[in-house]
Amino acid sequence: MSPVNGLFDRSGSVPRPSYRLLLNEAWSLISYRPAPPDPGTLPLGRGHVVLVIPAFLTPDAATKPLRDFLMRCGYRVFGWDLGINWGPTPRILGELRRRLKELRRLEGGPISVIGVSLGGLLARDLACDHAKDIRKVITLVSPFRLPTASTIEPLVHLCARF
């Protein structure tokens, strides 16, 4: 059985977005580059450790602008260091927990975790299993509840085999 079974709505009660909307989102990743806010107008991070988990099929490089901004705000920000996010495979889930323990030791207490898209689901899963180690979970463009409807479900199932 695939590790992603049960993640997707099969009842039809959650409508899938159209492929046109999916293509629009892909285009926005390429074309939309807003200026970040001034870090001086935001609360200081005071060296707090933050782990950032990338979206499905993306590596840490995809979250570099976010991590750079958070560093300018005074946080100690780390990527997940696991390469491409292939989804909730046993290897990734285990290594993500190891990364959490490593960063918690560095912080000396609970850390914050930011997850993008599927990375947000992985962040929530991590917090569910290790609540005492996580101060805050922030999800960006993540499906908040499972099961979810997605136009990329076939791609997720294909990648789950590897």
Query: Where are the domains positioned within the chain?
Result: 49-160
Give residue-wise pLDDT tens across range 56-93.
Answer: 889 999 999 999 999 999 999 999 999 999 888 899 99
Calculated CA dihedral for residues 120, 84, 91, 101, nearest 10 degrees: -60
* Mean pLDDT over the full length of the chain: 85
Question: How confident is residue 146, by pLDDT bands cut at 50, 70 and 90?
Answer: low
* Full-model pTM: 0.74
Percent of the chain topping pLDDT 70: 81
In CATH terms, 49-160 corresponds, of 3.90.1300.10, 3.40.1190.10, 2.40.30.170, 3.40.50.1820, to 3.40.50.1820
Give residue-wise pLDDT tens across range 13-64.
Answer: 767 778 888 888 888 878 888 888 888 888 889 999 999 999 988 999 999 9
Could you list the beta-strand ranges (E) of the chain. 49-53, 76-79, 111-116, 134-140
> What average pLDDT does the segment 1-9 reach?
55
The H-or-E segment that residue 70 falls in is helix 64-72
> Which residues fall within 8 angstroms of residue 143, CB to CB, at 6 or more apart?
120, 121, 150
Q: Could you tell me if 7 and 147 are in contact, meaning their C-beta atoms sit under 8 angstroms apart?
A: yes
